[in-house]
């Protein structure tokens, strides 16, 4: 547990010096606040930008940051130093995962300032679930990548699919049907309802299957590559 | 402290280590010498449990390497040639991470930085350090934990002579504190200056071992004395009593500029044993 805290602290320190990672955590919450306050189109659904950017945030930030962090540590050979200092792989992954999840939740908290207070717990629960699945997916990519370049080429298509299909689904029925298999689309539908009462079995099932697939892939990648 | 018996390791069909034996006592500096690709780093990785061997037994602190506990591992410092530092973090933040992991008091951070001469760069991000300073930071990282065993893989490779001397001084200081040091190098002078015992590794086999001066004496077949005279002439004399009279005569005439006996160096011993010379990683890369 101590080592998880140490990794968490290290990442926090590093974040303030790593603008490329920092911007991923800040960009969507900042854009949400700006757009919600500045743009007002007649007949636009309520909290349109909050819901839209929330899904993009969920599909992008945790996935790319976790994959980049792990890949960078592998590339620079600092991960090996940690492993030789008797930091267990699971401690390292938990530390990084918790750090990304915490920062993303802080960002989601900022986004939630625009919605009514009674909807905040629901919004944050949905975001928390989405971030968790994306973090596991990012960890799969990070484990599988030998360096940052490989990680970028792997997470780019995954990130685009996860974060943009829910957006494209707004304009195209066929894409909407396909997008339904992704947790990001299902969570977008949930955010549209903004209520625990409206949760459908199908939604839960898709999210659970996505999460199970991500976890399965994670263990397969870890077994094959480890953290070396 | 470290004992290895008949260590064998192959990667695919290539046998990298073949029947390596070694026994390193407490507080000694052991040097593993060999050209690039001889298997030095592989052996360190096997001894430190980063890599499994195909055959053989390794004991560290009297225990099988696979049975080392977390507490045992925390008494081992490893500085590999390719180990990185956290580029964006300052030198002291880099050390702070490992001080926390090893439960070392934070006061040791400034001490370790002072030891390697990086006090003035404590707040500097690692990315702004020169290659030599970075090597010293990596060394500070392992010295800070005051390990009982220290593995140093090419600690001075590619460094300037000043940094090299500085690192040698630190290594000797730690040896004097009772630390056992396992050093790999292809720098013969370094090995001769630092090591109590060396093993020459070639193509996965130890071809010779012993104290550096003992090895050199063992292979002193020529037993010649080389003189360089003030006239510019080079004279080679046999290592025998008759030569003494001749040297005395030349000395009286003030004709001798330099005088050397012809003991072989570790490098010439290696060449004699293997027919190849040591080459640095850089040389191997560009060969």
Are residues B34 and B108 part of one domain?
yes
What pLDDT is recorded for position B279? 58
A163-182 confidence digits (pLDDT tens):
888 888 888 888 888 888 99
Of B224 and A113, the structure prediction assigns the larger pLDDT to A113
How would residue A84 be classed by pLDDT, with cut points 50, 70 and 90? confident
Are B270 and B128 in the same domain? Answer: no
Instruction: Delimit the domains of chain A by residue range.
Output: 2-225
CA distance B100 to chain A (A): 7
Residues B194 and B120 in one domain: yes
Asked if B211 and B239 sit in the same domain, the reply is no
Q: Tell me how close the Cα of B106 comes to any Cα of chain A, in angstroms.
A: 14
Q: What is the predicted pLDDT for the residue at B278?
A: 64
CB contact, 8 Å: B141 with chain A?
yes
Inspect the interface and report whether the beta carbons of A10 and B97 lie closer than 8 Å: yes
Contact at CB, A77 and B50, closer than 8 angstroms? no
Question: How high is the pLDDT of residue B283?
Answer: 53
- The reply to whether B178 and B247 lie within a common domain is no
Chain A residues within 8 A of B50 when measuring between CB atoms: 80, 84
- Identify the residue among B97, B104, B135 best suited for mutation to test binding to A, counting A beta carbons within 10 A and taking the highest: B97
Confidence category of residue A103, pLDDT binned at 50, 70, 90:
very high
CATH number of the domain enclosing B69: 3.40.50.300
Nearest residue, CB atoms, B73 vs list A6, A13, A86 = A86
B85: contact with A, CB 8 A cutoff: yes
Q: Do B131 and B26 lie in a common domain?
A: yes
Domain end position, chosen among B189, B216, B243: B216
A11-49 tens-digit pLDDT = 999 988 888 888 888 999 999 999 888 887 887 788 888
Are residues B171 and B275 both part of a single domain? no
Of the partner residues A9, A14, A86, the one whose CB lies closest to the CB of residue B86:
A14
Distances (CA, A) of A159 to A2, A75, A180, B138: 32, 21, 16, 36
Name the residue among A162, A158, A163 with its Cα closest to residue A140. A158
Which span out of A61-65, A222-226, B238-242 was modeled with the highest average pLDDT? Answer: A61-65
How many independent structural domains does chain B possess?
2
- Residue A198 CB coordination number (10 Å): 12
Question: Is A10 in contact with A72 (CB distance < 8 Å)?
Answer: no
- The verdict on B169 and B267 lying in the same domain is no
The pLDDT assigned to B287 comes to 46
What per-residue confidence (pLDDT) applies to B277? 66
| Below-50 pLDDT ranges, chain B | 282, 284-287
User: Are residues B183 and B68 both part of a single domain?
Assistant: yes
DSSP state of B167: H
Residue A200 pLDDT grade (very low, low, confident, very high; cuts 50, 70, 90): confident
Pairwise CB contact (< 8 Å): B86 & A78: yes
The pLDDT value recorded for residue B280 is 53
Q: The complex's ipTM?
A: 0.84
Shared domain for B199 and B233, answered yes or no, is no
The answer on B30 and B113 residing in a single domain is yes
Together in a domain, B113 and B246 = no
Task: Count the Cβ atoms, other than its own, within 10 Å of residue A147.
Answer: 12
Q: Looking at the complex, does the CB of residue B129 fall below 8 Å from at least one CB of chain A?
A: no
Question: What's the mean pLDDT when you consider all of chain A?
Answer: 89
Q: pTM above the 0.90 mark?
A: no
Percent of chain A with pLDDT strictly greater than 90: 49
From B216, B238, B269, the end of a domain falls on B216
Identify whether the C-beta of residue B149 lies closer than 8 Å to the C-beta of residue B2. Answer: yes
Domain limit, last residue, from B186, B216, B246: B216
A81 contacts on B by Cβ (under 8 Å): 83-84, 98, 141
| Nearest residue of A to residue B73, measured between CA atoms | A86
Burial environment of residue B93 by CB neighbours within 10 A (0 to 12, 13 to 18, 19 or more): buried
Query: Which residue range forms the structural domain that includes residue B232?
Result: 221-286
């Amino acid at each position: 547990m101590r080592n998880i805290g140490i990794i968490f602290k290290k990442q926090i320190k590093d974040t303030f010096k790593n603008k490329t990672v920092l911007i991923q955590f800040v960009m969507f919450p900042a854009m949400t606040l700006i757009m919600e306050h500045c743009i007002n189109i007649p007949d636009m659904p309520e909290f349109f930008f909050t819901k839209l950017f929330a899904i993009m945030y969920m599909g992008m930030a945790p996935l790319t940051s976790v994959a980049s962090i792990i890949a960078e540590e592998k590339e620079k050979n600092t991960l090996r130093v940690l492993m030789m200092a008797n930091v267990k792989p699971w401690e390292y992954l938990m530390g990084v995962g918790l750090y990304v999840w915490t920062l993303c939740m802080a960002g989601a908290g900022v986004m939630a300032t625009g919605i009514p207070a009674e909807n905040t717990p629901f919004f944050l629960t949905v975001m928390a679930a989405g971030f968790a699945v994306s973090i596991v997916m990012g960890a799969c990519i990070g484990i599988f990548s030998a360096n940052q370049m490989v990680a970028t080429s792997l997470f780019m298509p995954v990130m685009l699919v996860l974060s943009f299909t829910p957006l494209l689904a707004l304009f195209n029925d066929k894409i909407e049907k396909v997008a339904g298999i992704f947790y990001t689309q299902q969570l977008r539908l949930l955010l549209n309802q903004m209520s625990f009462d409206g949760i459908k079995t199908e939604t839960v099932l898709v999210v659970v299957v996505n999460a199970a697939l991500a976890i399965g892939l994670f263990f397969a990648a870890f077994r094959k590559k480890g953290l070396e | 402290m470290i004992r290895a018996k008949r260590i064998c390791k192959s990667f695919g069909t290539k046998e990298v280590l073949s029947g390596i034996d070694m026994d390193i006592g407490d507080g000694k500096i052991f040097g593993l010498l060999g050209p690039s690709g001889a298997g030095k780093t592989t052996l360190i990785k096997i001894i430190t449990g980063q890599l499994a061997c195909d055959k053989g037994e390794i004991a560290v602190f009297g225990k099988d390497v696979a049975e080392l506990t977390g507490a045992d591992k925390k008494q081992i410092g490893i500085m590999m040639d390719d180990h990185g530092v956290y580029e964006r973090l300052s030198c002291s933040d880099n050390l702070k991470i490992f001080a926390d992991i090893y439960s070392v008091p934070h006061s040791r951070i400034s001490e370790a930085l002072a030891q390697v001469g990086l006090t003035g760069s404590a707040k500097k991000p690692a990315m702004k350090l020169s290659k030599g300073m970075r090597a010293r930071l990596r060394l500070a990282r392992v010295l800070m934990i005051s390990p009982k065993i220290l593995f140093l893989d090419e600690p001075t490779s590619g460094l300037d002579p000043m940094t090299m001397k500085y690192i040698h001084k630190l290594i000797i200081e730690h040896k004097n504190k009772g630390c056992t040091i396992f050093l790999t190098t292809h720098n013969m002078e370094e090995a001769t200056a630092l090591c109590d015992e060396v093993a020459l590794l070639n193509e996965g086999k130890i071809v010779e071992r012993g104290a550096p001066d003992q090895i050199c004496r063992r292979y002193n077949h020529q037993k010649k004395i080389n003189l360089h005279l003030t006239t510019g002439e080079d004279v080679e004399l046999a290592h025998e009593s008759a030569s003494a009279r001749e040297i005395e005569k030349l000395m009286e005439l003030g004709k001798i500029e330099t005088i050397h006996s012809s003991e072989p160096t570790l490098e010439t011993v290696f060449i004699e044993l293997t027919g190849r010379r040591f080459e640095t990683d850089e040389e191997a890369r560009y060969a």
